[in-house]
Amino acid sequence: MTPAQPETKDKPKPPGKHTLDVVVYAPGETKPRKFSWDKHMLVADAAAEAAKAFGHTSGNPSLANGKEVLPRDKQLVAAGVRDGDRLELIDIGGGV
């Protein structure tokens, strides 16, 4: 018979959700696309991935949440993106 393990106060907590499920709209597209991104991904990297998925190969893609252009050098979570957000693919150099 083995003794019971003593309870510790430092039990690891289950990991939280590390991804953000968002919907992205793009100019000239009739249907939005769903993306699941790591919440620590840079806005610039997420925008580039979305642009590629929509077939936009030129420009300087970024993402906007409403009228606010998200800072490309920040992580999605730090830029205020939340699970379920609807984002718009934009070109900060002039229109995708």
Determine which helix (DSSP H) or strand (DSSP E) holds 53, and give its type and residue range: helix 43-53
Mean pLDDT to the nearest integer, 10-24: 73
Tens of pLDDT, residues 41-76: 999 999 999 999 999 888 899 999 988 999 999 999
Cα–Cα distance, 12 to 92 (Å, whole number): 43
Both tokens assigned to 50: 């979305």
Q: What is the pTM of this model?
A: 0.79
In what side-by-side order are the strands of the sheet with 33-38? 33-38, 19-25, 86-91, 61-65, 68-69
Q: Which of 26-30, 48-52, 91-95 has the highest mean pLDDT?
A: 48-52
Please say whether the beta carbons of 43 and 79 come within 8 A.
yes
- pLDDT given at position 95: 45
